[in-house]
Amino acid sequence: MPLSASVTFMAEQLTMNRVIHAAVRRDLTRLDAALGAVADGDTARAQQLQRAYAALHEQLSHHHRQEDTYIFPTLERLGLDPTLVAEMDSEHHKMAEALDETATVMRRYAASASAADAGSALASVRSTTQVVERHLAHEEAELEPLMEPYLEDPTFKQAEKDLRKGPVTQSGVFFAWLTDGMEPHVESSLKSYVPGPVVLVLSKVFGRRYYREVAPAWKV
């Protein structure tokens, strides 16, 4: 999806960037709730939640790799304040460390399914949520408005084309993850950027791995 679509300042509509952020926040919230309700020794549930976290980790890391590889360098070349770009880069590194740490804790919990490891996983998820939220809020408040002057520049348009390259299965899993449990107002915003039938086909046909391996964690 084009980043130019992601900076649209309309009170009734979320930016595409915020649509993605909403999915991140949604998963962190429901993972927090799920970890707080698990039974000691429930290995199947522990493994479900580990897979769900791994899916979130994969999607958020991919989103940030695209920004680091294509968007931030292009914006800096076009004249965006390099100090802000450096701040975004630093926050990405801090998030990567926090996400990796939580991944380790979640794998340990999946292996033991113990109440103690569930508690450690919950504490780690909450700590990582704070790190992630600080960055998401910073990006939304400061970076998005400053991007607007550059969105129609040919150099930026090329960066958008480059970041959209990838296997269709990757897009399918992305849209399956993005729309799973999506709130109506977020879905409405998504449809303003990507036609509903396109999202449906990509997610249902090419995102089947997500529905098979991850979505059941949120149906309990």
The number of folded domains in the chain is 1
Asked if residue 69 is part of any domain, the answer here is: yes
Say how far apart CA 180 and CA 190 lie, in whole Å.
13
Note the pLDDT of residue 5. Answer: 43
| pLDDT of the residue at 3 | 43
pLDDT digits (tens, 9 = 90+) for 103-146: 999 999 999 999 999 999 999 999 999 999 999 999 999 999 99
pTM confidence score:
0.90
**Rounded to an integer, what distance in angstroms lies between the CA atom of residue 148 and that of residue 6?**
10
| Residue 161 is assigned to a structural domain of this protein | yes
- Asked if residue 148 has pLDDT above 90, the reply is no
- Predicted pLDDT at 200: 96
Percent of the chain with pLDDT over 90: 84
Specify if 61 maps to a domain. Answer: yes
- What is the CATH number for 92? 1.20.120.520
pLDDT over threshold 80, residue 208:
yes
Q: What is the pLDDT of residue 36?
A: 98
Question: Which residue type sits at 63?
Answer: H
What average pLDDT does the segment 34-58 reach? 98
Tell me if 214 is assigned to some domain.
no
Residue 134 lies in a domain: yes
Q: What is the mean pLDDT of residues 31-50?
A: 98
Residue 216 is assigned to a structural domain of this protein:
no
The pLDDT assigned to 12 comes to: 63
**Domain membership of residue 120 as a residue range:** 3-7+16-165
Mean pLDDT, the chain, rounded, equals 92
pLDDT digits 0-9 by tens, 1-20:
444 444 444 446 888 889 99
Paired tokens of 51:
């897979």
43 within a domain of the structure (yes/no): yes
Residue 10: what pLDDT? 43
pLDDT category at 46 given cuts 50, 70, 90 is very high
Q: Is residue 191 part of a domain?
A: no
